[in-house]
Amino acid sequence: MGAHFSKPAEDKTRVFFPSNSTQVSSEVLSTLGSSLESDYTRTQHTEKYIQDRVSEELAKIQTETSQFLEQIKSKIPDTTEKSSAEGAFSSSKEVREKLDALKDIIATRPHILETDAETSQLRDAVVNCLNVKKNRPLDCYEIVEAFKAKLATL
């Protein structure tokens, strides 16, 4: 239990020996040794290549974004002109027609003008129960259900 952590770590380096001999010709070694590029110059070339690629991609993204913004900007004035024309500059005839349509909608809705005495009593009972039992509104459940049933019959 935890003893393996307190023991010193053994050398876990393994060396593999290939079954075939790996020999490199002297010509290859001489070309590698006489190469004008060092590790430093290779990293500089690699870094330059990466920077060029990133700048190309960034330019590409910027052009796509600017084209997208231009498309959006071309669509926005169309919608604002329509909405301003409808909202701010409506003629009195159009406003009158809209009001008449709303009046017709309101007229078609059912109206309950007066409630009978029993409904008023049930409503008062619900209000009183909820006022008395402010912290326990579920105690008034039966009274509320009776009131709902009475309203459903109207």
Q: Which tens digits make up the pLDDT trace of 71-114?
A: 888 888 665 555 555 555 678 888 888 889 988 888 887 766 66
Q: How far is CA 107 from the centre of its chain?
A: 42
Which tokens hold the place of 2? Answer: 């935890």
Tell me what pLDDT residue 52 has.
Answer: 96
Domain range summary for the chain, segments of one domain joined by +: 39-109, 112-154
Model confidence over 13-70: pLDDT tens digits? 788 777 777 777 888 878 777 777 777 888 899 999 999 999 999 999 999 999 999 9
Sequence-distant (6+) residues with CB within 8 A of 122 are 143, 146, 147, 150
125-140 as b/e, with b when 16 or more CB fall inside 10 Å? Answer: ebeebeeeeeeeeeeb
Task: List, for residues 115-142, the tens digit of each pLDDT value.
Answer: 788 888 999 999 999 899 888 888 889 9
Sequence-ordered list of residues with C-beta below 8 angstroms from that of 123, at least 6 positions apart, any chain: 115, 147
